[in-house]
Amino acid sequence: MVNVAVIVDSIACLTREMVEQYGVKVLPLNFYFGGKIYRDWVDVTPSEAYELFLKDPESFKTSSVSPGEALEVYREASKQAENIFCVTVSSKVSAVYQAAREAREQIKEELPDISIEVLDSQTVAVAEGFIALAAARAAAEGKSLAEVVKTAEEMREKVEFFVFLDTIRHVYRSGRIPKIASQAGSMLNIKPVLTVASGLLHFVGVARKKDSGVERLLGAMRNKVGQKPVHVAVTHAYALEDAESLKERISAEFNCVELWITEFSPLMGYACGTGTLGIAFYSDE
């Protein structure tokens, strides 16, 4: 039995290899399509989910995770660890954090000897993934629950996330802009570049073509890290070829300690659309 089990929701976009290597437990989020419910990364891969999305975007709906679903993952983790640490997507964009906290309260009598900590990552996608990964690596080193939490909190302060949307057509589904504005932006070929600050996505620029969007991502990274040693994750929504090209650019231009590709969760992609490219990164210095 290990000291600390790390749980993260599926929006964190950790690869299956990383999940298996560090024994991370994934709390899958749900979406509906064609009257059927799917569990993200469990019943369907992100690529398969995007193929469903492209068939009929309007019938693709997301669903909040319930405390009961979090309870099941806690129970599973408790069989292998003395303590549990759960990292969630920003509480300002999803109810996962609240569900995880409610589940923690509900399970106290059932698991009185298990300590459970829940951390709001205050970010999304692979930036959240890096926070969970830092926690999992600390746990693999045998660190205490308090040390694992501190490691994750320190990572939360330094990891950056930038994302380029190849289309703005579906952004209205986030509830943050009207549908007519989203459609008008799509007609004008507006392709936004966003970042995360204070737990929310913020507009930082616009591109007319994917190439210029990629340059904006790279420029943001240059401004933040220069030639310092950097850890980088590239994420994409049904755009593997573009992601591989971006990875090659990053490998050639930056001093990478680690560099990997993963797929953007369809739970965010339903609003961002296919073709989305994102980068999360941090420097050790």
All structural domains of the chain with their residue ranges: 2-29+64-157, 160-283
Q: How sure is the predictor about 178, in pLDDT bands with cuts at 50, 70 and 90?
A: very low
For residue 187, the model assigns a pLDDT of 41
pLDDT above 90: residue 284:
no
For domain 2-29+64-157, say whether CATH 3.40.50.10440 is its number: yes
C-alpha 43: how far from its chain's center?
A: 18
Distance CA 114, CA 40 (A): 27
Distance CA 181, CA 90 (A): 25
**CATH class for the domain made up of 160-283:** alpha beta
pTM (two decimals): 0.93
Mind listing the pLDDT tens digit for each residue in 53-63? 889 888 888 88
Report the run of H or E that residue 118 belongs to, with start and end.
Answer: strand 115-120
Distance CA 275, CA 242 (A): 8
Q: What is the mean pLDDT of the chain?
A: 90
pLDDT above 70: residue 205:
yes
Specify which residues 47 forms β-bridges with. none
Mind listing the pLDDT tens digit for each residue in 146-170? 999 999 999 999 999 999 998 765 4
Distance CA 152, CA 144 (A): 12
Closest by Cα among 193, 199, 225, 185 to 94: 199
Q: How many residues does the chain have?
A: 285
Domain 160-283 in the same topology as domain 2-29+64-157: no
